Structure 1
């Protein structure tokens, strides 16, 4: 019984039962989340949603990150701030008496639930078109918030069931505002599920594993491996395999961007000019072309699904941060010209995070880079320093350099605080 097993494991999880390495992974995950929430807070996707929903906001209990201290009700904060962690922190502020260790424990539970269930229906679930971040995210958010609420095993099972019917997210929406809606809505739905369950709202107690339950419905004809992955809870921790994205775009683009940035620096060392580039050849895994093949992105959002744009800005700027995905950069003539020189070929023999990039120069010279594992992967993880650089790089666009540094310091300490709400109001 996967539903009850997940509920029981979550309810019985304690901070002291979580290995130190897992706690560290949770701390890094929370820090990275705050970084992204602030960095994306003034994106048009967020501001449009905020402006549309503002007339319906309730009692202001929870912070909207990057807004200069604005607050709204927990449900809307969960939606506007993003994924599992947004529901968790929104409820923590609403509750007002949650400690850092409790937050890290609940976050770990939510991430483990999302990842284990996602793995149980992978890859068929994703292949038929579900956006797995959000289709498992509502359950993860319900588990995380339910843990903070100290739900009983029975209540937790019902929360999981209520969340399981809130399946949201289609890959067709990638490149549009609705892609961002997916994880926010999942967080909001998970919070709703936990709140309902606490008051006795019921669902199927076999919501995950039943013949017509979540796993079998969303598995796309595949055979869910629930027994394997749910059985691993507390033994193999998925949060330790949770890599962080150094670039704000589709993760399958990252090897190509990594290669382009390295070649940018090599061209500088050898004093080659971008004007000398004759053509650019890229060899990638087929999934890269399937997911990020937008040759002529019209704005920053579409640029995130263009491996061609990623290579172009990597070569041109030696960076691929939020600033390089601004609308004006995507439309810049120099970027467009370089982007048009990129030819991409897919090979099934390559790993998903592997790429070959070759820059041919006028006169016969060429530069080559093979990326076996991209920066940000488990094999080449981002260091604390790189995470801080990422935080400040994107938060500074919203808060300014000093504000970003201050927020970074506060975010690192969330997991250690006696009163998390008091810290969150300062970020």
Structure 2
């Protein structure tokens, strides 16, 4: 990486200078769609037992209530609300996905910004601008370390390592941080960036984006009050681009800022699982419908899946909902056996241990 390439500074300057009118209508429209989608995801997941467990446990340590815990009929401090709302938004994996980076940008950014905006109200236009900028940064950051020509590692959760920075950008924009404080907000958020794909198949799959939401909000409010971080958190010797990639793609991060918008590559899910499984579900459902296939008459199924699907979802014979959630074998069995791919199709009692599904996977 060339010396003197002030990547963090370029991003901080762009974000702090950006105005609502700088966003094309198509970008504003897509930002609104992404926001509405994630609010729906949050409402849909708010009563999940894992969300209830986290909310009930951490509420014992929360501060005065300032922000809504969406779908749960109560309020909490902003940091707690950001975490629980984002946990809800990702619990069923309906959260949006960037088509190239496979990162889930909107949940952490939206929930951090919402929690802050309830405490420090802003106009809808201001909010949507901050949200769009935060989403843009998440997508660009993840692309820069994971999408060719970048050479990264699938072991990192792209959302875990990138979304906290995007959430900090959105929250920092709502706080009207100047470029210096925005630079520090990015650095503070990066100091807490984390997420391992080893967590797939566990409750922590949804905790990683939730942590990113809380991380970003915390970073922005600390930076506003003068807390500082590294001045080169992204491009520095041990910074984001060097740690999370063998070879980073810096142009993916900084080229075309304000001209090319990654939010336009955001996608939305019809099925409650990782997007890498969706083509498999589509194919199974289509074959079942077109040929009138019955699961009991299928001798075997051969699947040619993407490397990403195999790396993340090649999980045979899942034992519970958490494992079924990320099992391409489970979803293939569901599609052929039931002709559906719904939330209830990964329930531990009624789906995962369904003899018909178990037989299909092992037969």
Q: Would the TM-score normalized by the shorter structure come out above 0.5?
A: yes
2:319 aligned partner? 298
What is the aligned counterpart of 1:257 among 266, 278, 281? 281
Task: Please say which structure displays the higher CA radius of gyration.
Answer: 1
Taking the TM superposition and a 5 Å limit, the aligned residue runs for 1:102-121 are 102-121=126-145
1:317 and 1:70 map into 2 onto residues whose CA distance is 38
Judge conservation of contact 1:45–1:180 (CA < 8 Å) in 2.
no
What's the CA shift for 1:19? 0.7
List per-residue Cα deviations over 1:194-253 (Å, max 9, x = no partner). Answer: 00011011122221111122221222xx22222452122112100000111221112211
The DSSP-based 3-state class of the residue aligned with 1:197 is: helix
1:131 aligned partner? 157
1:382 aligned partner? none
2:139 and 2:354 map into 1 onto residues whose CA distance is 39
List per-residue Cα deviations over 1:60-104 (Å, max 9, x = no partner). Answer: 22122221x211111011111112211111111122x22222222
Instruction: Tell whether 2:44 aligns with 1:20.
Output: no
Taking the TM superposition and a 5 Å limit, the aligned residue runs for 1:365-380 are none
List per-residue Cα deviations over 1:17-64 (Å, max 9, x = no partner). Answer: 111111111111111111221222222322221122111121222122
1:340 aligned partner? 362
List per-residue Cα deviations over 1:240-289 (Å, max 9, x = no partner). Answer: 0011122111221110011122233335xx4x543332322222223222
2:205 and 2:114 map into 1 onto residues whose CA distance is 22
Judge conservation of contact 1:86–1:187 (CA < 8 Å) in 2.
yes
Taking the TM superposition and a 5 Å limit, the aligned residue runs for 1:143-158 are 143-158=169-184
1:20 and 1:32 map into 2 onto residues whose CA distance is 18
Q: Runs (4+) of structure 1 moved beyond 4 Å?
A: 123-126
What is the aligned counterpart of 1:169 among 189, 192, 195? 195
- The more displaced of 16-25 and 276-285 is 276-285
Judge conservation of contact 1:304–1:325 (CA < 8 Å) in 2.
yes
Alignment TM-score, normalising by the size of structure 1: 0.75
1:326 aligned partner? 347
> What count of residue pairs does the alignment treat as equivalent?
334
CA RMSD of superposed structures (Å): 1.7
In structure 1, the gaps of 5 or more residues are: 342-427
1:189 and 1:275 map into 2 onto residues whose CA distance is 49
1:317 and 1:114 map into 2 onto residues whose CA distance is 37
2:307 and 2:16 map into 1 onto residues whose CA distance is 41
2:50 and 2:44 map into 1 onto residues whose CA distance is 12
1:161 and 1:119 map into 2 onto residues whose CA distance is 19
2:310 and 2:342 map into 1 onto residues whose CA distance is 21
